């Protein structure tokens, strides 16, 4: 592996670790009932009343 | 003629003061004259546009008007599948994306009478905010040569600003409608997630992709939105919610609307001219009867982390074949961003998707209990020099991308409608952008506010000197 490839690989590993760390911190207290599809519900609930 | 807005041209064609053929020839002449510098188009369909315009003129002469865009020349980002034209999606592969159905938004505009002039340049795979493209040429900023046009809907921004076309479609996964609109001094609307079908358009991130109009006036954006919005059975995420009539509501007074200027995040590190322009717009809207107050928003940085996970994982899954089998065909920064996604775990991806729902719900509940809309800068600085932001190393380019799109990306995670409108100009003439974000599915209010500001803005109607 060349020096530039090693540098890119280290950078990629650092980027992935940073993203994973951020999500882990934020997700610590997610409740069992919190699911991805609630996003669409949040938008519909937040819309102006027709 | 190419200084007319889309709505003005549509009215002139309907009144038979201007023919569609004349409007189409005016655009083609302007493309021939200026696109050698701008690189806004990837495909110009001159023959198809001329034939369509002649047919529409004949129909009008016979008393048939297809719809509000009868005879108006438009163009589409090169990730929208348009029947008969290739979709490179900014890659070097001419037909990178194909679809069994035409892009629904394009089909709806065509059904309303639009003429397709061609396909517009974009950042490779829509991955990047600067408008550079190694395969089709860097899209130049019409206002200042050598400066970024904004991306990834770079050709859409430059073509509309330069009067090569009367309106365009862009797509927005992290700011890709709003950034080029702000850099090029035009109007761009990222609708609510689910408001406009994405069927027939190349996906970058299923969770964050939006399609929307890019125009020279707010009225034009409202007109295009009314035509392209609404449920589409070809897009499982498209909403059944009624579109309403944002165009008819544009002239309603803004008195009584409650507006927020964010106390946190959105003004951190922005240049003084950007800050001054947004604050001036807020004062103007206040003078028109809206109330403006400072407000601390739920931390947008958390949503950016969520968006990064979702966007990286989904884009890598979607574009795995080119990224794994033909990586040498991709630019270094695009390759680098796709590569990260291959290493995100399913666990982190799902936690991010769950967090997104929580953050969006909390934001909508907390913020819109206090105000009706948020005012913020679209770009943190006037369009920078392209050579400066694309200088290696690639890790630094990726960091610059993140900084330049930091004000737009949270709204993709939130899914809220955001309109960007010209808000002023830097001392050397580069445009500045004002973002107006509203409640889910309340495009009508952000368009109404944008229209009110546009009517009061002393820079309204200013065009770049090409």
pLDDT in tens, B387-435: 999 999 998 999 999 999 999 999 999 999 999 999 999 999 999 999 9
Shortest CA distance from B308: residue in chain A: A19
Share above pLDDT 70 across residues of chain B, in percent, rounded to a whole number: 100
User: What does the pLDDT read at residue A50?
Assistant: 65
Flag whether the pTM goes above 0.90.
yes
Chain B residues within 8 A (CB-CB) of chain A? 192-194, 237, 239, 241-242, 302, 305-306, 308-309, 312, 336, 339-340, 343-345, 348, 350-358, 360-361, 364-365, 368, 394-395, 415, 439-442, 445
- What is this model's ipTM? 0.94
Print pLDDT tens along chain B (466 aa): 999 999 999 999 999 999 999 999 999 999 999 999 999 999 999 999 999 999 999 999 999 999 999 999 999 999 999 999 999 999 999 999 999 999 999 999 999 999 999 999 999 999 999 999 999 999 999 999 999 999 999 999 999 999 999 999 999 999 999 999 999 999 999 999 999 999 999 999 999 999 999 999 999 999 999 999 999 999 999 999 998 899 999 999 999 999 999 999 999 999 999 999 999 999 999 999 999 999 999 999 999 999 999 999 999 999 999 999 999 999 998 999 999 999 999 999 999 999 999 999 999 999 999 999 999 999 999 999 999 999 999 989 999 999 999 999 999 999 999 999 999 999 999 999 999 999 999 999 999 999 999 999 999 999 999 9
With an 8 Å Cβ cutoff, are A43 and B351 in contact? no
pLDDT in tens, B82-107: 999 999 999 999 999 999 999 999 99
Contacts of A38 in chain B (CB under 8 A): 354, 357-358, 361
Average pLDDT over chain B, rounded to an integer: 97
CB count in 10 Å sphere of residue A5: 9
Rounded Cα gap, residues B187 and B440, in angstroms? 19
């Amino acid at each position: 592996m060349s020096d530039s490839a090693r540098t890119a690989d280290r950078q990629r590993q650092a980027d992935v670790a940073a993203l994973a760390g951020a999500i882990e911190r934020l997700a610590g207290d997610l409740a069992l009932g919190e699911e991805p599809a609630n996003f669409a519900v949040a938008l519909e609930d937040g819309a102006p009343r027709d | 003629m190419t200084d007319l807005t889309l709505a003005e041209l549509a009215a002139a064609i309907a009144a038979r003061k201007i023919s569609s053929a004349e409007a189409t020839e005016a655009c083609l002449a302007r493309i021939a004259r200026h696109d050698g510098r701008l690189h806004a188009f990837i495909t110009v369909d001159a023959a198809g546009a001329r034939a369509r315009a002649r047919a529409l003129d004949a129909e009008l002469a016979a008393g048939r008007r297809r719809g509000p865009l009868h005879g108006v020349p438009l163009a589409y980002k090169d990730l929208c599948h348009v029947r008969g034209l290739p979709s490179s999606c900014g890659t070097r592969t001419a037909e990178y994306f194909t679809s069994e159905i035409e892009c629904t938004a394009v089909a709806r505009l065509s059904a309303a009478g639009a003429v397709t002039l061609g396909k517009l340049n974009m950042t490779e795979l829509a991955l990047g905010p600067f408008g550079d493209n190694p395969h089709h040429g860097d899209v130049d900023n019409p206002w200042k040569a050598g400066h970024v046009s904004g991306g990834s809907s770079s050709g859409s921004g430059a073509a509309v600003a330069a009067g090569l076309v009367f309106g365009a479609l862009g797509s927005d996964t992290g700011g890709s409608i709003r950034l080029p609109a702000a850099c090029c001094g035009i109007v761009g609307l990222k609708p609510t997630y689910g408001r406009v079908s994405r069927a027939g358009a190349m996906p970058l991130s299923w969770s964050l992709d939006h399609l929307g109009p890019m125009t020279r006036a707010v009225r034009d954006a409202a007109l295009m939105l009314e035509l392209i919005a609404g449920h589409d059975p070809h897009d499982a995420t498209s909403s059944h919610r009624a579109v309403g009539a944002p165009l008819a509501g544009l002239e309603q007074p803004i008195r009584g609307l409650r507006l927020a200027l964010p106390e946190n995040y959105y003004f951190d590190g922005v240049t003084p001219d950007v800050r001054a322009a947004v604050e001036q717009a807020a004062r103007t809207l206040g003078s028109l009867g809206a109330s403006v107050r400072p407000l601390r928003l739920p931390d947008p940085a958390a949503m950016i982390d969520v968006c990064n996970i979702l966007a990286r994982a989904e884009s890598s899954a979607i574009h795995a074949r080119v990224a794994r089998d033909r990586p040498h065909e991709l630019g270094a920064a695009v390759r680098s961003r796709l590569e990260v996604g291959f290493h995100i775990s399913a666990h982190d991806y799902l936690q991010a998707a769950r967090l997104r729902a929580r953050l969006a719900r909390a934001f909508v509940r907390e913020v819109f209990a206090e105000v009706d809309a948020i005012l913020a800068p679209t770009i943190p600085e006037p369009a920078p020099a392209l050579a400066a932001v694309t200088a290696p190393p690639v890790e630094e380019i990726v960091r610059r991308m993140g900084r330049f799109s930091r004000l737009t990306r949270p709204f993709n995670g939130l899914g809220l409608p955001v309109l960007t409108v010209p808000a002023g100009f830097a001392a050397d003439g580069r445009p500045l952008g004002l973002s107006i974000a509203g409640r889910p599915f309340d495009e009508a209010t952000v368009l109404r506010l944008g229209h009110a500001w546009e009517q009061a803005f002393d820079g309204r109607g200013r065009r770049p000197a090409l």
